[in-house]
A and B are shown apart, each in its own frame.
Chain A
Amino acid sequence: MTPSSSLALLRRDLGLSLARGGGPVLAAGFFLTLMAMVPLSLGPEAQTLSKIAPGLTWLCLALASLLSLERLFERDYEDGVFDLLRTGPLALEWVAFLKCLAQWLGTGLILSLMTPVVMILLGAPVGVAGWALVAALIGSFSFALIGGAGASLTLGSRKGGVLIALLVLPFYVPPVIFGAGLMQAFVTGAPVSQALSLLCAYGLFALALGPIAMGAALRSALN
């Protein structure tokens, strides 16, 4: 596990996810479009919107995190990059983690930065911004890792995208609950520590199990 090859891989993947243009712009655009549809479908009453703003923002964050999963491993799997990486010095688990990290830096980070803005636009109190950002950072990072596990499982299957969504969304439920719960706790003045520690626990769970699952799935796909 050499730092230079890890850095090289991270830089390559980050470059790919940014250069293709699709990554961050597409995810951010999708996120904004979803949010713009909320007042259109539910009516623009400020009272209703401010009540559901935190939960809805989290839901849209989860959906927007799904978008780029299909391309996470698929391209490198098809053109044989993974066969090269496998013979290289890095463990497949670590490779998968770095790819998720690059993916997150490319899209998840931007979505997280947008989360407090969007939440406030929908009518959440301005004071919520700090916690919203922290929670969104943890949440989107665990989305990236768990989503990566889903993406690696469907490698080489016939219907990638929809299947990934079906597999991954149930696993996105806990962070959505805890993240939205944290916002709710903040708004009502209750202590945020419980929701925050549950969210962190989920993030650590994703961090510990995600790479192992991805490594096993990639190995099985490459055989």
Chain B
Amino acid sequence: MIISWLANPERFSKVFAPVRPWVAGLSLVLFVWGLYLCFVSPEDYQQGDTVRIMYIHVPAAWMALFTYLVMGVASFFGLIFRHALADAAAKAAAPIGAVFTALALITGSLWGKPMWGTWWEWDGRMTSVLVLFLFYIGYIALHASIEDEQRAARSTAILALIGLINLPIIKFSVDWWNTLHQGASVFRPGGPTVAPAMLWPLLMMALAYKALFVWLWLIRIDTEILSRKYNGLRARLGFREGGA
């Protein structure tokens, strides 16, 4: 219901424009509070101070998966129901997801050096996240290479849906290949195994990342709406699309 109601771009902009500053503020507060908690949380008995990388790394990795899921769902609505804004939503999410994935890979690498003694290890988790990064890049490249906006949206939606297969592979890679990267310790049957003193800053940071994503996403969707309107106006006034 609400999803089809929001298909009207004008309505979408009108509803979410006043929401955006609140989401931005929420994200800022959560980041300040979360980062504060990160620094006052206890050191790990094995890892010492380096455990604090976890609060940056783990939420980024969660967001990398979550953003792809968002893209997949939006692509589904765009492709099946011809939802006008779903295409814009999927396109808008892709670069954000790519950055989260890159952040997860980089912080993981920085964490791996002191802990495992190596910047990179070709284990299941890392390799599959790297493949996820390549999916994002492929998605963005495909979208950029097709000029017709609707065709680009449809082709990339099909690609995004096929790419969903990678998500369960990433999630279960640590179980299927028993490798260096540790298994799930927060979202697991039987409750988290992370100590509460570390769980709180982690969850706070996760919420901060999520709010940041929503904020950036809303901005990018709005930009997409505006640029479509702009191109439409130019076309009506007789300019060639994309021309100077």
Contact = CB atoms under 8 A, between A and B. Distances in A.
Contact of A154 (B142, B165, B169): B142
A7 interface: no
B155 A217 contact: yes
Interface residues of B, number: 25
B172 to A, nearest CB: 13
B138 A167 contact: yes
Interface in A158-176: 158-159, 163, 166-167, 169-171, 173-174
The 10 closest A-B pairs by CB, nearest first: A157-B145, A220-B154, A167-B138, A153-B155, A157-B146, A170-B134, A170-B131, A166-B138, A158-B145, A213-B158
- Tell me if A's interface is mostly helix, strand, loop or mixed: helix
A209 interface: yes
A149 interface: yes
Contacts, number: 63
A91 interface: no
B113 interface: no
A156 interface: yes
A217 B158 contact: yes
Interface string A145-159: 000010001101111
Given A157-B142, A158-B145, A163-B145, A173 B131 contact: yes
27 contacts: A149-B162, A153-B158, A154-B145, A154-B146, A156-B146, A156-B151, A157-B142, A157-B145, A157-B155, A163-B141, A163-B142, A163-B145, A167-B138, A167-B141, A169-B134, A170-B131, A170-B134, A170-B138, A170-B163, A173-B131, A174-B169, A209-B162, A213-B158, A216-B154, A217-B154, A217-B155, A220-B158
B137 interface: yes
B155 A170 contact: no
A217 B162 CA distance: 12
Contacts of A173: 127, 131
A221 interface: yes
